[in-house]
Amino acid sequence: MRLAPRRQRAGAPSWPSDRKIMLHVGCGPRGSAPLPKEFTTPQWHEVRLDIDPDVDPDIVGTITDMTAVPQRTADAVWSSHNLEHVFAHEVPQALREFYRVLKPGGTAHVQVPDLTVPARAVARGRLEDVLYVSPAGPISALDMLYGHGAAITRGEHYMAHRTGFTKQTLAAKFTAAGFDPVRVEAKDKALWATAKRPDLSS
């Protein structure tokens, strides 16, 4: 997901009243990565947000400024490998935006690289060895730490990583943003966070 600011697309997305809304933040090209299974059922309607208008999102915006999305409209937010592309000081703002657009009781689902994985590889002298193969291609510890080198070489500088997380630090940032409860799980060389906006009316 590109991080340089651009003008948001005019007009608001359609919000069907008969289905739950899943805001897909940093969606990328349509079909470029599978959605979690829970969001592929007929009860969910996907609204796609990305900074790059070329991927044909429903909304053009950034992870730190989603003002085109009304507050308390999404039942869920899904964001895969985007949060690491903002600077550390911007992470709280991104999480505040997730919190703002979620309905009370809604849940943010966020996936980021698990920095303990490249840390162990570096400690074993495997900085540039391939650790796994992603849809974007082979991924090394260097890629996990600083961003996908092949993409950056092509001039896609927005693919650079500007911050990173462990289970503890990611959970702490969600908690500081007001989410409760917060669960962070390490699997498949990534961290998977599930964080709920409390429903204080209940």
Contact 197, 99 (CB under 8 A): yes
DSSP 114-139: BTHHHHHHHHTT-TTSEEEEETTEEE
Whole-angstrom distance, CA of residue 82 vs CA of residue 113: 10
CA angle in degrees (0–180, nearest 5) for 190-128-84 = 35
**HSE value, Cβ hemisphere, 13 Å, CA-based, for 101:** 26
On the question of pLDDT at 10 being above 80, the answer is no
Whole-angstrom distance, CA of residue 16 vs CA of residue 194: 24
Tens-place pLDDT, residues 29-48: 888 778 999 999 999 999 99
Biggest alpha carbon distance in the chain? 54
Which tokens hold the place of 182? Answer: 């917060």
Residue % of the chain over a pLDDT of 70: 93
Whole-angstrom distance, CA of residue 55 vs CA of residue 68: 17
Whole-angstrom distance, CA of residue 174 vs CA of residue 98: 10
Instruction: Give the mean pLDDT of 123-142.
Output: 94
Tell me what pLDDT residue 130 has. 97
Instruction: Give the mean pLDDT of 73-91.
Output: 97
- Say whether pTM exceeds 0.85: yes
Domains in the chain, start-ordered, CATH in brackets? Answer: 1-114+164-202 (3.40.50.150), 116-162 (no CATH)
> Which among 81, 80, 57, 61 is positioned nearest to 70, based on CA atoms?
61
Tell me what pLDDT residue 9 has. 44
The strand pair at 74-80 and 102-113 is best described as: parallel
Tell me what pLDDT residue 1 has. 44
Whole-angstrom distance, CA of residue 48 vs CA of residue 64: 15
Tens-place pLDDT, residues 161-188: 999 999 999 999 999 999 999 999 999 9
